[in-house]
Amino acid sequence: MYEMFIKAGFNSAHNLRGYKGKCENLHGHSWKVEARFEKETLNKIGISIDFNVLKAKLKDILKGLDHVYLNEVSAFKNENPSAENIARFIYMELKRTVQEKGLFLKTVSVWESESSCASYSE
């Protein structure tokens, strides 16, 4: 089994509804996103997939989250744009785009700071 990792990032603001503390207030993050994929086989030139293909797909998803107020993004109208929910949202969007490539999306991790990360997998 081969495992591939890609990273990207975006900047946005949010606040956590119902949270008692500083995160209830509007604030922003420079989010970092890491996606991990698995594939059992390599192609005839010895690679699983071109990293540029994966990066382009992730960046396309992140465009909708970059420099916006996440609470107003349709995916987060009824749930908090927490790191956990953002990781699940990105996972579900990315999973749809890579299945036809024979890849298994293992995990999406979303870092809201250098020391705080949430991951989602199925």
- Out of 24, 40, 67, 72, the active site residue is 67
23 as an active site residue: the answer is yes
Which strand ranges, in their side-by-side order, compose the sheet holding 104-113?
Answer: 2-14, 27-39, 104-113, 116-120
Does residue 87 contact residue 109 with C-beta atoms inside 8 Å? Answer: yes
Quick one: tokens of 24? 């209830």
Residue among 10, 91, 6 at smallest CA distance from 50: 6
- Out of 14, 29, 34, 112, the active site residue is 112
Q: Annotated active-site positions, please?
A: 23, 67, 112
